[in-house]
Structure 1
Amino acid sequence: MTLAMSWDEWHRQDAVGLAALVRAGQVTPAELAAQAAAASARVNPALSAVVELFDDVIADPLADGMNPGGVFAGVPYLMKDLGPTLKGRKQEMGSALMRGHVATADSYLTGRIRGAGLNIIGRTTTPEFGCCSSAENPAIYVTRNPWNMDYTSCGSSAGTAAAVAAGVLPLSHATDGGGSIRIPAGVCGNLGLKASRGVFSIAPGASDLTGLVSTQGCQSRTVRDTAAFVDACRGGAPGEFMPYWQPEEPYSQLIRRDPGRLRIALSHEWGDYRAVPEFVAELERVGKFLEALGHHVEWAVPAVDFRAAYAAQTTCYITNFAQTVASLMRLKGLERPPAELIEPMNIRIWEAGIDASFSERFAMQAVFNSTARAFGAFFEEWDILLTPITALPTPPIGTTEYLTLSDNPDVRDWFGNLWKFFAYTPLSNLCGIPGLSMPLGRQEHGLPLGIQAQTKQAGDGLLLQLAAQIERAIDGRWNNGRLPPVHVTSER
C-alpha cells in the first residue's frame, strides 16, 4: 500500500498540522486514517497499545458521523477502551468479564469529539476498569513502554500513552481519576492535561457530582493540539449538576502569548511521601530553567492534611469502583464477582466498598472540602505548583504490587502503596483543579519523567500558556528531542 507521506513527515505533523493539510487539499481524511492504521501495524505488535481498529471508518471517515468541517478536519483519533461509549462498537474495559460487550449508544463527549472533526478509528488499552497503574494482565494484554519494552507505560491511559509516544497518531483520548492521563503521559514523554472540573462532560452515565474525581481528556505531542481539543470538545450536556464554564478567550489564542511573571512553587515533600533524589534533581533543574524565563521560583508545600486527604481519596476509589463492578455485574445477571473473570484486587475492592455507609461517604466529602480549601488558599499566594509526575521510578513489567493481579489481602494497604508511587496526581482530582504533565525530565533508566504543573480551578489556560512558553523556548524539542526506540520512524 502506498502511503500519503513518509514516516518522518508523519511524525513531524501534529493534529492541527494534519488538519491544515486536509484543508489545503494535500491529503484526505481517508489517507490519514490509512496512515494511522499502517502506523499501528508497524509498532503495535511490540507494544500492545491498540485493542482494535475500525476498518469501516478507516475506509470511510464519514461513516460514523464525523464532522469534516471541524477544527481537526478528519484527523484520526483513538478512544481509550473506557469512559465514552461508541454506539455499535465494543467497549471491554480491559476485563474478561466485559469481553464482547457492545455499547448501545454514543456518550455525549463522543459526539463532541466527532463534531470537532476527529475520526475515531479504534480503541486503546486500559487496565481492568481503569483501576490500577498498568495495562498488564497476560490473559488480556500487556502494554509496554516504547522507550524500553521491559517497563510499563503505566495507566490507566496505557495504550494511548504508548501509541502517541510511538508516533501512531499525534492525539488520542485519555481519562483521569487520580493521574491516569498525566502519569502515563509523564513516563512515555507526552503532554497530558487533566482538566478542571466543569470542562468535559461524562454524560449521560455519570456527572461531576457522581463521578467526583473522574475526568476526560487527551494526550498529545504539542500544546496547540491539546488547546484545540479542549476548545472544541469542552461543555456540559443538558441536565448537568453544575455549570460548565467557558474561558474569556479560546485557549488556541491564549497560548500564542507568554504568561506574565509567575510565582512558581517547587514541591515534593507531601506528608509521608517524598520523591527519589534523581526526581528532585530534575525538578530543581526545571525550576532553574523557569527562573531563566523570568518566573519567581522557590520551594513550598500546601498546608494540607495529607494523611486525611489520601485516606479520603482511598475511600472514594473503593466505594466508586465497588459500584462500577456492581453495575457491570448486573449487566451480566451476576450477584458476586466471578474469580475467573475479574482480577483479584477488583474483587476485594468490591467486597470492601459495596456496603459502604452514607456516613463514610459524608466523612470523605468533608475531607474533600477541607483539602480543596487548603489548595485554594495555596493558590491565592502561588500561581503554579510544580512536582515530579511520580515519586518513584517507573517499575518494570511484572511488578505485581501495583496491579489488580496483586495478592495483597488489604485493599487500603494496596492503595497506600499506589500513593507512595503516584503521590502528586490524585489530589487534583479530589479538588477538581487542573494538572498538566510536561515531558521535561528523564529518569536514570532512560524513560521520560513528566514534570507536573497544577494551578487553581479553572486555571487550565494558564497551564497551557506556560507550557506553550516552554515549548517555544525549547524550540518544540520535548524530551530533549529524543524519540523512543519503538517508533514509526525506526527501522526494525
Structure 2
Amino acid sequence: MKQVMTWDEWATCDATALADLIKHGEVTAAEIAGQAKLATEKVNPSLNAVVELFEDAITAPFAEGTNAQGPFAGVPLLIKDLGPGVKGRLQEQGSKFFKGFRQTSDAFLTTKIRQSGLNIIGRSATPEFGVASSAENPEIYVVRNPWNTDYTSFGSSAGAVASVAAGVLPLAHATDGGGSIRIPAGAQGLVGLKSSRGVLSIAPALSDITGYVSTQGCVSRSVRDSALFIDSCRGGAPGEFMPYWKAERSYTELVKRDPPRLKIAVSHEWGNYHADPHFVTELERTVRLLEELGHYVEWQTPDIDFEAAFAAQTTCYISNFAQFIQRQLEKRGLTEPPEELVEPINRKIWLEGRDMSYSERWLMQDVFNSTSRQLGAFYEQWDMILTPSFSAPTPLTGDKRYLTLSDNPDVMDWFYSLWELFSYTPLASLTGTPGISVPLAWQTSGIPLGMHFQTRQANDGQLLQLAAQLERAAGGRFNGQRIPQVHVTV
C-alpha cells in the first residue's frame, strides 16, 4: 500500500476535493482508500477510533456496488458501528453482547451511500448500543479525543468524529439521537449537522413511532462535504413511516452564497441548565462575529416547558432502549441481559423500561407534540437560536458519571446528569428540527468548543448556508492553523 499524497496534502483535501482528483484521473479510488488505511495505521493506536477496516473494499472500491459515477466517485467512508446495516459486515454496536453479529443485507441508507459514490471501508467505534456519552469500555476500546488524549471524545459517534478530526479521512457516517453528531463534533472541531426528521432514511429499523428522535448523518471538516452528503443520500425507503421531503434547491449550490440577514436568538439558560462562564464568554464572541456579518442577534430563550421536555425525552430513551434490549433477549432465548455482556446502566435501562405502559408513552408523545408546537411558534419570530453545543467542559477520559459503566444505582439520576452536560442538543431531536455544531470557539483546556445553531423544520439548507458563511469568514477553513495533538501530519 503506497502513499500517493503527502500528509499535508491529504489533510487539506476535503471529500469533494478528493472526488475531483479521482474524477480527473490524478489518483484512483483504490489509492485514496489505501492512503486512508495508512492514515488509520498512523493514528488509530493512540485513538481507537476505527474498529475494523474492510481490506476488500480498500483494494476494490467498486466491487460492492459503489457508484464510480456518483458525486463522491469512490471517496472512502467509515460507517458507525450501529448505523445502517452493511451486508456481510460485522456490526457489534460497541457491545460484547453483539460480538460476531453480521448484517445479512444492506439498509436503504447504505444503498444511497453507495449510489453517492462513497466507498465504505470500515466501521467506527461507538459506546454500547450508542447510549453513553463516550465510547469508553476498557474491555473493548477507549476512544480518545485527538486534540488531547486525556479528554473524552464524547459520543456516541465517538470513532467517526475522532477519525475525521485526526485526518484519517475527511468525512464519516454518524448518527444523532440527542446530540451524538453535534456534541462530539463540537468537542473536536468538526461540522456536525443533525438533519430534520424526514431527510435521511432509518429503514428498516425504527421506521415507525419509535424512531422519533434518531437521525442518520455525517461529520465533516467542510460545510460543502456535509451539504453534498445530504444532497446525495437523502430520501426514504418505500413504506417508511414518516414523510420524506426534498429540498427546493441543492444544498451544494445553496452554500456557495451567503444567507440573507438572519434574526438569531441566543441563549445559554435552558430551563434549569446554564453554561459554564467561559462558554458564555465564547458565546458572546460568536454573537459579535454574527453581528459583523450583518445578522441581528438578541438574547432570547424559547418559551418552552424544558422540565417536561427533558422528562419526556428521558422516557423516550428508556422505553426505546429497553425494548431494543428485550427484542435481543427474545431472539436469544434469554430472560435478562447477562451481567458479563451488558454494561450496568444498560441493564438498569432495561429494568426501568421493559414494562412501560402505553399510557406513559402517550403522555410522552403529548409532550413531544406540545413542545414542537411551542418551538414552532418561536421560529415564527426567529430564524435560528444559538447556544453552545454543550454546557460544561469536556470531561477527562474515565469519568464514569456519564458512562454506562457507571455504578449509579438510579438510572433516572444518571440520565439527568447527562442533561446537565448535554443541555442544548436534545430539543432538536425531540422536535425533529435540524441543528448544527460549527467549530467557532475553544475551551480553557485548549480543545474545541462548538457553537450550536437550531432552526425550524426543513430549514436545514439555511443552517448549512450560515455555516458556510462562517467558514468563509474563518478564511475557508475552521480551527485556523491549529491541529490536534494526534493527527496524520504530526
**Equivalent position amino acid for 1:442 in 2:** W
Q: Secondary structure at the match of 1:151?
A: coil
Q: Any idea what the Cα deviations from partners look like across 1:190-217, whole Å, max 9, x if unmatched?
A: 1000000000010012225321100000
Q: Is the 8 A contact 1:130 1:156 kept in 2?
A: yes
Q: Is the 8 A contact 1:202 1:208 kept in 2?
A: no
Offset at 1:106? 0.8
CA distance in 1, matches of 2:322, 2:44: 32
CA distance in 1, matches of 2:477, 2:109: 31
Q: Any idea what the Cα deviations from partners look like across 1:119-152, whole Å, max 9, x if unmatched?
A: 0000000000000100000001000000000011
2:118 corresponds in structure 1 to 118
2:343 corresponds in structure 1 to 343
1:201 aligns with 2:229: no
1:130 aligns with 2:138: no
2:445 corresponds in structure 1 to 445
Q: Is the 8 A contact 1:279 1:388 kept in 2?
A: yes
Offset at 1:482? 1.1
1:400 aligns with 2:400: yes
Offset at 1:328? 2.1
1:288 corresponds in structure 2 to 288
Q: Secondary structure at the match of 1:77?
A: strand
Q: Is the 8 A contact 1:198 1:208 kept in 2?
A: no
1:12 aligns with 2:12: yes
Change (3 A) 1:100 1:238: same
Q: Is the 8 A contact 1:145 1:151 kept in 2?
A: yes
Offset at 1:269? 0.3
1:27 corresponds in structure 2 to 27
**Equivalent residues in 2 for 1:80-479 (5 A)?**
80-207=80-207, 209-479=209-479
Q: Secondary structure at the match of 1:152?
A: coil
Q: Is the 8 A contact 2:194 2:436 kept in 1?
A: yes
Offset at 1:330? 2.6
CA distance in 2, matches of 1:378, 1:257: 26
Q: Secondary structure at the match of 1:478?
A: coil
Q: Any idea what the Cα deviations from partners look like across 1:289-348, whole Å, max 9, x if unmatched?
A: 000000001100000000000000000000000011112223322121000000000000
Q: Is the 8 A contact 2:2 2:34 kept in 1?
A: no
**Equivalent position amino acid for 2:340 in 1:** E
Q: Is the 8 A contact 1:440 1:480 kept in 2?
A: no
CA distance in 1, matches of 2:35, 2:414: 42
Q: Is the 8 A contact 1:344 1:404 kept in 2?
A: yes
Q: Is the 8 A contact 2:2 2:31 kept in 1?
A: no
Q: Secondary structure at the match of 1:380?
A: coil
Q: Secondary structure at the match of 2:98?
A: coil
**Equivalent position amino acid for 1:80 in 2:** K
Tell me the percent identity.
Answer: 63
CA distance in 2, matches of 1:357, 1:221: 43
CA distance in 2, matches of 1:481, 1:367: 45
Offset at 1:451? 0.3
Which ranges of structure 2 fall in alignment gaps of 5 or more residues? none
CA distance in 2, matches of 1:167, 1:436: 21
**Equivalent position amino acid for 1:301 in 2:** T
**Equivalent position amino acid for 1:136 in 2:** E
Q: Secondary structure at the match of 2:96?
A: coil
CA distance in 1, matches of 2:139, 2:329: 20
Q: Secondary structure at the match of 1:441?
A: strand
CA distance in 2, matches of 1:450, 1:288: 16
CA distance in 2, matches of 1:446, 1:333: 49
**Equivalent position amino acid for 2:216 in 1:** Q
CA distance in 2, matches of 1:46, 1:404: 23
Which ranges of structure 1 fall in alignment gaps of 5 or more residues? none
Q: Is the 8 A contact 2:222 2:477 kept in 1?
A: no
Q: TM-score, normalised by structure 2?
A: 0.99
Offset at 1:8? 0.5
Q: Any idea what the Cα deviations from partners look like across 1:406-459, whole Å, max 9, x if unmatched?
A: 111111111000000000001110000000000101000011000000000001
CA distance in 2, matches of 1:39, 1:208: 39
Offset at 1:480? 2.9
**Equivalent position amino acid for 2:88 in 1:** G
CA distance in 1, matches of 2:332, 2:59: 34
CA distance in 1, matches of 2:329, 2:17: 44
1:70 corresponds in structure 2 to 70
1:485 corresponds in structure 2 to 485
Q: Is the 8 A contact 1:199 1:235 kept in 2?
A: yes
Runs of 4+ aligned structure 1 residues displaced above 4 Å come to none
Offset at 1:485? 1.2
Q: Secondary structure at the match of 1:468?
A: helix
CA distance in 2, matches of 1:244, 1:339: 40
CA distance in 1, matches of 2:208, 2:19: 32
Matched residue count: 490
CA distance in 2, matches of 1:377, 1:339: 46
**Equivalent position amino acid for 1:122 in 2:** G
CA distance in 2, matches of 1:429, 1:32: 35
1:45 corresponds in structure 2 to 45
Q: Is the 8 A contact 2:67 2:114 kept in 1?
A: yes
Q: Secondary structure at the match of 1:472?
A: helix
Offset at 1:240? 1.6
Q: Is the 8 A contact 1:197 1:208 kept in 2?
A: no
Q: Is the 8 A contact 2:200 2:216 kept in 1?
A: yes
Offset at 1:242? 2.4
CA distance in 1, matches of 2:194, 2:472: 22
